[in-house]
Chain A
Amino acid sequence: MSGAARLGPGDAPAVTLSGAAAALGITPELLRALERLSLPSRRPVLGATVGRRRSRRYGSSLDLADYRSYVPGDDIRRLDWGAYARLGRLLLRLYAGEEDACVTAWVDTSASMAWDPVGKERVARGLAGALVYLALAADDRAACVGFADGVTGRAGPVRGKRSAPRLWAALASLPGGVATDWRAVAGAARSVPRGVALVFSDFLTDELPKQALAALRRAGHEVVLVQVLSPLELSPLLRGELRLLDAETAASVELTLGDAAIASYQRARAEHTRSLRALAASHDARLVTVHGGLPLRQSLLGQLVPARVVR
């Protein structure tokens, strides 16, 4: 297959790296780095099948969770015979369950993401591709949903890291939308199995994503907001008499841009980030801002790891 590479023996398990993986910036070296990382969840999960995450149900892990009195018909393999020898009471061991979670990457495909000539959309989709691989490598299920003014595409949930190329292909080919409408995320929150929701967006919308966050939490998701910003958004290079056109709404503003205007812009950006962080905290979610101009590996290890989104 043209443009495809396969990891060899001794590397991460064989996964064919297609053109879609290359488009996302996913390389064999990155996959090897991902094999050493995990995507933790802060709360016990309610999964569909056996996995590696601590479950809210009792199960068959090695971690003892509780005892209860034995009743006839119980599985005597779980009988604490030693406790009977000591106490004269028949007690049954209950073990913590370990189940999987569904990690869903919600990727903003609106025009503001595609606007960036430096490639923040590529970074957002690349990070989504890396994190869904991380989930699949840890026996979780993974899915991806593209959204803008509606759901623009979806794939999964799938299981097993051999299914990762399917998600990468879907991520690489998510069609672009126009404007970000958080009602699209709110409406689709229950369309994927509950688990961990990773929302990749620039969050450049007039209204904060309160409705979407509330819907994702109600649907049982643990939410992580990943704000991907272009270097041109973090430090604008615009100067002079200009008419700025909004990539999503086509609205325009006419400005005379100098140092004072840029300082005012930075204050507005900081205030918006504070509001977004407060909103995330009020919904038990996390916010991490990622520099959209960095290589994928550097964004992952230098920004998501310190933020404890992955570790």
Chain B
Amino acid sequence: MTVLEPVAAVAALSLAAIVALYFLKARRPARLVSSTLWWRPLVLDRHAAVPWQRLRMSWLLALQVLAAALIVGALLRPAFVSAQALAGQTIVVVDTSETMQATDLAPSRFAAAVADARALVDRLGPHARMTLIAMGPDPEVIASTVGQRQPLLQALGALRPSDGPADLQDALQLAVGSAGPRASGTRLVILSDGITAPLTEPVTLPFPVEYRRLGVSRENTAVTSVTVVPGVTGETAVAHLEDFGQEPAQVTVEMFADGRLADAQTAALAAGGGQDVTFSVPPGAGYVKVVLLPEDDLVADEGAVAVTSPPSRVPVLLVTSGDVFLQKALSLRADVALTTEAPSAWRPGQASSPDFDLFVFDGFVPPKLPTQVPFLVVGPPPDRQLGSGRAVAPGRLLPAEANDPLLYDVDLSNVDVAAAASLHGSAFGRVVIGSAAGPVLLVRNEAPGEPAAAILGAYLHDSDLVLRAAFPILVNHLSEFLAPDAVPALSQPPGGAVTLAPGAGAKELIVTRPDGHTDVLAAGAASLAASGGTVLFTDTGEVGLYKVTVVERTGPDQHGYLAVNAPGTSIAPESQLGVTGSTGSVLPRASRYQELWPVLAAATLLVLLLEWVVYHRAR
């Protein structure tokens, strides 16, 4: 037996009121006021005289109290419970994102979600359809059956939480697709803590939706990033710690170098605040891992890894008469090893030198352009190989195409170039930056016998380009386009796609995941050459260090490391998802109730009738 309207117990006050009427003396006209708070000082010394009278037994009192008790009982809506099975189509979305690993629900939010899903599967009716959707970084339908529980239970048993975010938008699209064109009889149950990638706008679905919120804790500390910074005396690891909760935290931060404990510190984190902690990295260490202790409810973001130095340096040769801005802009890239030499020191044999991955020629064009190594020419003199001519006055610069990746965040609106080499007649490559006087930046992609290359026509000393923030960004984009990293040096978020660039000279690309599993991404030089020497790696769902091995056609294998770290997030469960469904019951009630109020109402009428009889007999 249960009570459906416990709030109605307030009506029990009426019993006291009835009794009070029998022994309170009515002395003055009563007026209801919001509160007697401000009136009470007036009567502190004037208590009313004897407000009570002796309570005497009365059948009327007993019957009225009984009637009131029956009415209160009816208002409480007491009911018996009976179970009911699912019918129609039920779509269950199970959140498998990182925050579902939180252990504030024993053993975890994810386990609680799976248990809830199993309970729904157990209630599946004989002709009812159920579809299970795993909501991680890439939501997918993991099972869909009619009346069969075993495939659903097997899919739930094989389900594992990921280290990535939950893509609610894609999961809802899958749910709508699974529902089919006729949504009647369909219901959606979302088992989640509500921490998902934000919806672009509130979503309304054509069927009822129930969001079962999982999780209670808001407290979470995390290592949100680790960066290894070169310094004068050696490398320093800078870890950023964040307290996403509402209570301050005292933590111990341990730093492991190549898997061995190297240092530890304590840190006091303010609620909602962050703090940087630095460690000296032992010489020769390949990677560092920073870990927080004690562990809180979410372990996945308690540690982060970083490669101590870029897995492979990019040797760049700058041939210049001396331009400090260009030199500094090139050296901003963390993995660049920059060498500078004067144009007079250039030897023709260097054009095919394997010692450099990129040549940058400033105000100088070698007699024979490199045929193997990518190059960038800045402010070239007139040259037939490049098609550059005499100086022109471009003035304001204009992007040739909207959304060219080479011009992301490059603001050309306030750049003025007084003089540049004319590239009007050059067929060197596609135009990236133009002007009233013709192209200013030409870029060409890699082709057989021709390395990737670019020409920036502007004479740097006759332009304010070098003084603008656009300059280092543009140089950085060109440098990364012409000589990309084999493996990104910066940490990547889990679940994202990463471009690996082993180069066209590679034969095979092998990635070893943190759990030891090995993926051969590209076998054979032909497949790598066909993809321009780059491979898109998407299986980054697990946090940790990924080892990337590039098997070269000639020469020794190259090794690099890719760090994948959880970005850290609040684990406070959201009360709502921003998803609304059509009206109606989401699930057949977990319980069906047989209510008793009609019986109580009938008994009340009987008692009131009796009270009427007693009253008139007493008269």
Contact = CB atoms under 8 A, between A and B. Distances in A.
B27 A254 contact: yes
Nearest to A162: B202
A162 to B, nearest CB: 7
B40 interface: yes
Contact of B227 (A73, A80, A205, A269): A73
Contacts of B238: 71
B39 A245 contact: no
B444 to A, nearest CB: 25
B28 A253 contact: no
A67 interface: no
B38 A272 contact: yes
Smallest CB-CB A-B distances: 6 pairs: A204-B35, A72-B334, A112-B34, A243-B28, A254-B48, A268-B38
Interface string A243-264: 1111111111111000001001
Given A79-B332, A162-B202, A175-B7, A272 B37 contact: yes
A265 B38 contact: yes
Contact of B28 (A80, A242, A251): A242
Interface of B: 7, 10, 13, 17, 27-43, 48, 198, 201-202, 218, 227, 229-230, 238, 246, 271-274, 325, 328, 332-334, 409, 466-469, 471-473, 476, 489-490, 570, 572, 575-576, 578
Interface stretch (A8-16, A153-161, A296-304): A153-161
A60 to B, nearest CB: 12
A257 to B, nearest CB: 8
B240 to A, nearest CB: 11
Contacts of A36: none
In this complex, the member of B27, B33, B202, B246 whose beta carbon has the largest number of chain A beta carbons within 10 angstroms is B33
A247 B32 contact: yes
Contacts of A84: 328
Contacts of A82: 467, 469
Contact of A160 (B38, B202, B272, B489): B202
Contacts of B229: 71-73
Contacts of A253: 36, 39-40, 42-43, 48
Nearest to A50: B198
A213 B575 CA distance: 23
A76 interface: yes
A261 B570 CA distance: 56
Given A243-B31, A253-B43, 4 more contacts: A79-B469, A81-B469, A111-B34, A251-B36
A81 B229 CA distance: 20
A294 interface: no
A113 B34 CA distance: 7
B378 to A, nearest CB: 17
Contacts, number: 153
24 contacts: A71-B229, A73-B489, A73-B490, A81-B467, A82-B467, A85-B325, A85-B467, A116-B34, A158-B576, A158-B578, A190-B218, A190-B246, A220-B246, A238-B33, A242-B29, A245-B32, A246-B36, A247-B34, A248-B34, A250-B13, A255-B43, A265-B42, A268-B38, A272-B38
A244 B576 contact: no
B241 to A, nearest CB: 14
Contact of A245 (B30, B42, B227, B490): B30
A254 B29 CA distance: 9
A242 B409 CA distance: 77
A202 interface: yes
A8 to B, nearest CB: 22
Nearest to B491: A73
A294 to B, nearest CB: 18
A249 B466 CA distance: 77
A194 B48 contact: no
B38 A248 contact: no
B48 to A, nearest CB: 4
A61 B490 CA distance: 24
B42 A255 contact: yes
A76 B572 CA distance: 33
A255 B32 contact: no
A205 B31 contact: no
B42 A247 contact: no
Contacts of A113: 34
Contacts of B36: 244-246, 249, 251-253
Given A159-B578, A175-B7, A219-B246, A115 B32 contact: yes
A52 interface: no
A48 interface: yes
B468 A81 contact: yes
B37 A245 contact: no
Given A73-B227, A76-B332, A81-B469, A254 B43 contact: yes
Contacts of A163: 202
Given A77-B409, A254-B43, A46 B230 contact: no
Contact of B472 (A79, A160, A244): A79
In this complex, the member of B36, B468, B575 whose beta carbon has the largest number of chain A beta carbons within 10 angstroms is B36
A205 B38 CA distance: 10
Interface string A144-186: 0000000000001111101100000000000100100000000
Contacts of B333: 72
B272 A202 contact: no
A292 to B, nearest CB: 10
Nearest to B37: A204
In this complex, the member of A71, A113, A158 whose beta carbon has the largest number of chain B beta carbons within 10 angstroms is A71
